[in-house]
Chains A and B, each alone.
Chain A
Amino acid sequence: MKIFSGVPNINFMAQRKLGLIISAALTVLSIALVLVRGLNLGIDFTGGVLVEVGYPQAVQLDIVREQLHEGGYERAVVQHFGSASSVMIRLPPAENASSAQVSSQILHALAVGAEKAPELRRIEFVGPQIGDELTQKGSLALLFAFVGIALYIAFRFEGKFALGAIAALVHDVVMAVGFLSLFWVEFDITTLAAILALIGYSNNETIVIFDRIRENLIAERRSSVLDVVNLSVNQTLLRSVITHFTTLLVLTALFTLGGQSVHSFSVALIVGVIVATYSSIYVSTNLAVALGVSREDLLPPAEKEIDEMP
């Protein structure tokens, strides 16, 4: 089976200025959105008490809120979690009590007037100071990952490519985080892991195209850089489509069957995978071209690598 009967011949680079403008605009927009609206931070970041309870049958949130209100928990955030019969309750960390007390008080409040009392499925009691440390560590991890990746690309390819790749990584991460902010998807430590995984994925995309550009630049000595880039993107297009498709397949499986605890994870990655496809062409490659990648930049290391093949 074939999607295209030959190498497609789409002039991707014709729209390269538009691509850069759109990407820049969306990036700025995402950053603004995150700054203004913020993120729906999970308990890992905010601290507080999280209680998950399971009912034997579906339960209405209004009733639960009413019960909690009666029990003295006015500031509780109540929402369904995964199914209509399980409820997640979040409390700010102002309650002056231990988790054992909180859980028994909440279970007590929920049992008032109910036919069947719910079962405690999970309780988390997290001090807000953890949030600071996680944020610091998370940002630090991102920074180090960027530097490490940039160094490797600069070493294996060329500095301009490294810049392009990093720009794409930042673009993808910002875009995914912007999406999470826009749709108010909960951002917890698992979501952070997804964002970090996205870096790997986005990078994979970029490298595959870069690799082909390098190969073609050396082989096709008569074509212009733009033509070579177009050719390379077209040559790798089918592979990209298929890989994104399989990745999206499993992410969709994870989203639908994996349960609430990996929802944000899969959403962040689904968005990220789609954005990474675009950015590998219109951000990383585009920027490397705009920076003036030339055939000469790539010649010396490429000769040597032939020997390293298996």
Chain B
Amino acid sequence: MKPYASWKYVVLVLALVLGALYSAPNLYGDDPSVQVSMGSGDPMPADFSDIVAKALEANKLTSLSSGMEDQRWVIRMPSAETQLHAADVLKRELGNGYVVALNSASKTPPWLRAIGAKPMNLGLDLRGGVHFLLEVDIEEVNKKAVQRIVTDVPAFLRKENVRYTGRREAGSHGLLEFADAATLEQARKLIARNFPEYTLTVPQASTTQLQVALSPQEAKRIVDFAVQQNLTTLRNRVNQLGVAEPLVQRQGINRIVVQLPGVQDTTQVKDLLGATATLEYRAVDDGDAYSAAASGITPVGTELFYTREDRRPVLLKREIIAGGDNLVDAAATVDEQGGPAVSVTLDGAAAKRMFAFTERNVGKPMAVLFKEREVVTNYNAQGVAMREHRDVQEVISIASIRGVFGKKFQTTGLESKEAHDLALLLKAGALAAPVEIVEERTVGPSLGEDNIRKGFSAAALGLGLVVLFMAFYYRVFGLFAAAALLLNLLLVFAVLSLMQATLTMPGIAGIVLHMGIAVDANVLIYERIREELRNGLKPHAAIEAGYERAFLTIADANVTVLIGTIVLFALGAGPVKGFAITLMIGIISSQFTAIVGSRALAQLCFAKRPLKDVPVW
């Protein structure tokens, strides 16, 4: 037999060592633990370990360890009962500024963690928890964009001294009217130059109307931005819950998946996720609000709202000086009179607008509009989902502008709890568009354990049967195949752990299925060896020919299967994706282990020995 390149042995040993190292964390299990983080997301104070130590000592609790792990303070406890006790104690001691949550911290030793080896995440079906699928209201995003068109473009035209005679929202576009075609043309050119993101059309029947719509790219960008913004906001909100290993992920165009392992009660979570409370700062119009309320007709460029306290009508300008998405920071505080207030900080652009506005309007009133939206889903008799929005829009404060302010200022007029909640919500970020929960799943923890047990026993039995059969049928070579299969499994686990993939029941099913198919490459090779022997080749030559001839077949088969799997991964969602990942990794690694791995073993065993026959018979 030709000598086998020594680098192949090196690669093989390396794969074995790395595979073992990176799949090892899955064997260690978990410690029940309590994790503490700052509600604000700020770093933990330097003397935090003393605080914890004192709190635990005062209550006669002993922890296994206590320290920073993944940007959270993790206190490992010896048992589930002490874990609960410790969590209660710490919640009481630390107060509102901290988020205390139960967690299960992996027992992976520090040296393994130091090289980045972590256990796989378990899917909800394997450990219990809640799953939400949220849908971002794209219609609302588009409506807002059209609203912006009918405020921004006319404002720009006024600045340029181009007179328009009317403006309104008309479905998916804004409509501007002009006195004559010449003005329209002038406006069209100006708008086209300054707002390249809008598409301008003159309806055929008219010479004085101009339709302003978002270009398709811009429309897509706006939706993308809104979903992205919501993603960030939801992540912040979920972090407020203190759940260990939450998952907040975009899915498709306008959906967001939120998974919270270990959580069973969905009500609190739903309140937090769906809340869209935000503030808007707007100028008060001096038009007659009472007659507008009576007639239902509001002057151009204004909207009618009511105050929260005494339901008094107020006319507000459409332009938003600063809105929820401009807020950088917010905190509950007290105003000069000792009433509850929210102190807010604006981002750069809004701060500039605020500065310019207050500078021009000292002495004039500015209003704070509180907006909240709830989405209720009902099903009609045909079982079709009907969405109902319930909007709350109230003016919570009107105050005369007493001086110029920019970045930081206070909003009053709230109740105490409201100020607190609003500050939290604002801080966690406003949702750029309302979200609705379209899917909700809760998996009990005992079902999770059940699934793990079943998946594990199925995998163990499957593996055992395959190894037995291969050893029985192919003797020594069967053992090589079994070794290659085990190395393959090791690599699959290592890669999954390294990728921090989430293991689910379909994923386990994929691994199990893969064990049946993975030996195929070896079967192909061994059958080929037998054939070559029958064709009269000498044992060593037959082994070599078997490996070489089967290689192309295996590669062709694997590549085509891989193509199918990649498509699955790209288009599939949730469990299908998880399944595709395990299969994909399995195929790639089996190409390596079945060919290089089992051949290296064959080489080691037989290369230096004279063979009368190949022991595959």
Show the binding face of A for B, using Cβ within 8 Å.
Answer: 1-2, 6-7, 47-48, 52, 54, 92-96, 98-100, 103, 119-130, 133-134, 137, 140-141, 144-145, 148-149, 152-153, 156, 189-190, 192-194, 196-197, 199-201, 203-204, 207-208, 210-212, 215, 235-236, 238-239, 242-243, 245-251, 253-254, 256-259, 261-262, 265-266, 269, 305, 308-310
> Bound state CA distance, A215 and B133, in angstroms?
51
**B465/A92 in contact, CB under 8 A:** no
For the complex formed, measure the closest distance between the CB of A276 and the CB atoms of chain B, giving whole angstroms.
11
**A193/B466 in contact, CB under 8 A:** no
Give the residue name and chain of the A residue nearest to B524 (CB).
Answer: A239
**B572/A141 in contact, CB under 8 A:** yes
For the complex formed, measure the closest distance between the CB of B530 and the CB atoms of chain A, giving whole angstroms.
8
A-B pairs, 4 with minimum CB distance = A250-B462, A247-B516, A259-B454, A250-B516
**A99/B442 in contact, CB under 8 A:** yes
Partner of B553, one of A190, A211, A265: A211
Asked if B513 is at the interface of the complex by the 8 Å CB criterion, the answer is yes
Which residues of B (367-387) have their CB < 8 Å from a CB of A? 377-381, 383-385
Q: State whether A249 and B520 are in contact (beta carbons under 8 Å apart), knowing that A149-B564, A193-B575, A261-B505 are contacts in the complex.
A: no
Q: 29 pairs across A/B with beta carbons < 8 Å?
A: A6-B534, A54-B444, A99-B440, A103-B442, A121-B443, A122-B443, A130-B133, A144-B571, A148-B563, A149-B560, A190-B509, A200-B583, A204-B557, A204-B560, A208-B524, A211-B552, A243-B523, A246-B466, A247-B513, A250-B513, A251-B513, A253-B512, A256-B461, A259-B454, A261-B125, A265-B506, A305-B552, A310-B548, A310-B595
Q: State whether A140 and B571 are in contact (beta carbons under 8 Å apart), knowing that A243-B517, A250-B466 are contacts in the complex.
A: yes
Partner of B442, one of A123, A235, A238: A123
Set of chain B residues within 8 Å of A212, measured between Cβ atoms:
553
**B561/A203 in contact, CB under 8 A:** yes
Give the residue name and chain of the B residue nearest to A157 (CB).
Answer: B556
Set of chain B residues within 8 Å of A124, measured between Cβ atoms:
439-442
Give the residue name and chain of the A residue nearest to B474 (CB).
Answer: A1
Asked if B527 is at the interface of the complex by the 8 Å CB criterion, the answer is yes
> Bound state CA distance, A182 and B266, in angstroms?
38
**B447/A94 in contact, CB under 8 A:** no
Q: State whether A193 and B438 are in contact (beta carbons under 8 Å apart), knowing that A54-B446, A141-B567 are contacts in the complex.
A: no
**B568/A208 in contact, CB under 8 A:** no
**A254/B523 in contact, CB under 8 A:** no
Which residues of B (287-346) have their CB < 8 Å from a CB of A? none
Asked if B20 is at the interface of the complex by the 8 Å CB criterion, the answer is no
**A93/B383 in contact, CB under 8 A:** yes
Q: State whether A254 and B512 are in contact (beta carbons under 8 Å apart), knowing that A144-B567, A149-B564, A261-B451 are contacts in the complex.
A: yes
Instruction: Give a binary string over B547-561; 1 marks a CB under 8 Å from any A CB, 0 the rest.
Output: 011011100110111
Partner of A128, one of B384, B444, B505: B384
**B568/A262 in contact, CB under 8 A:** no
**A94/B560 in contact, CB under 8 A:** no
Asked if B409 is at the interface of the complex by the 8 Å CB criterion, the answer is no
Instruction: Give a binary string over B518-545; 1 marks a CB under 8 Å from any A CB, 0 the rest.
Output: 0110011001000100100000000000
Give the residue name and chain of the B residue nearest to A140 (CB).
Answer: B571
Partner of A153, one of B439, B442, B560: B560
**B379/A94 in contact, CB under 8 A:** yes
**A309/B552 in contact, CB under 8 A:** yes
Set of chain B residues within 8 Å of A127, measured between Cβ atoms:
377, 385, 438-439
Q: Which residue among B459, B527, B617 has the maximum number of chain A CB atoms within 10 Å of its CB?
A: B527
**A196/B576 in contact, CB under 8 A:** yes
For the complex formed, measure the closest distance between the CB of B257 and the CB atoms of chain A, giving whole angstroms.
12
Partner of A137, one of B461, B566, B572: B572
Asked if B225 is at the interface of the complex by the 8 Å CB criterion, the answer is no
> Bound state CA distance, A134 and B571, in angstroms?
10
**B379/A96 in contact, CB under 8 A:** yes
**A204/B517 in contact, CB under 8 A:** yes
Asked if B458 is at the interface of the complex by the 8 Å CB criterion, the answer is yes
**A242/B523 in contact, CB under 8 A:** yes
Set of chain A residues within 8 Å of B574, measured between Cβ atoms:
189
Q: State whether A248 and B516 are in contact (beta carbons under 8 Å apart), knowing that A93-B379, A137-B571 are contacts in the complex.
A: yes
Set of chain B residues within 8 Å of A192, measured between Cβ atoms:
576
Asked if B28 is at the interface of the complex by the 8 Å CB criterion, the answer is no
Set of chain B residues within 8 Å of A123, measured between Cβ atoms:
440-442
> Bound state CA distance, A12 and B523, in angstroms?
22
**B444/A120 in contact, CB under 8 A:** yes
Set of chain A residues within 8 Å of B455, measured between Cβ atoms:
258-259, 262
Set of chain A residues within 8 Å of B459, measured between Cβ atoms:
253
Q: Which residue among A7, A126, A153, A258 has the maximum number of chain B CB atoms within 10 Å of its CB?
A: A258
Give the residue name and chain of the B residue nearest to A126 (CB).
Answer: B439
Give the residue name and chain of the B residue nearest to A83 (CB).
Answer: B450
Set of chain A residues within 8 Å of B439, measured between Cβ atoms:
124-127, 130
**A152/B553 in contact, CB under 8 A:** no
- Beyond A130-B439, A246-B520: 16 further Cβ-contacts under 8 Å? A141-B576, A144-B570, A145-B568, A152-B560, A189-B575, A190-B506, A190-B579, A200-B583, A239-B527, A249-B465, A250-B463, A250-B513, A250-B516, A257-B457, A259-B505, A262-B506
Set of chain A residues within 8 Å of B451, measured between Cβ atoms:
259, 261
Set of chain A residues within 8 Å of B575, measured between Cβ atoms:
189-190, 193
Set of chain A residues within 8 Å of B450, measured between Cβ atoms:
259
Set of chain B residues within 8 Å of A310, measured between Cβ atoms:
548, 551, 595
**B513/A249 in contact, CB under 8 A:** no
**A246/B519 in contact, CB under 8 A:** yes
**A156/B556 in contact, CB under 8 A:** yes
Instruction: Give a binary string over B157-186; 1 marks a CB under 8 Å from any A CB, 0 the rest.
Output: 000000000000000000000000000000
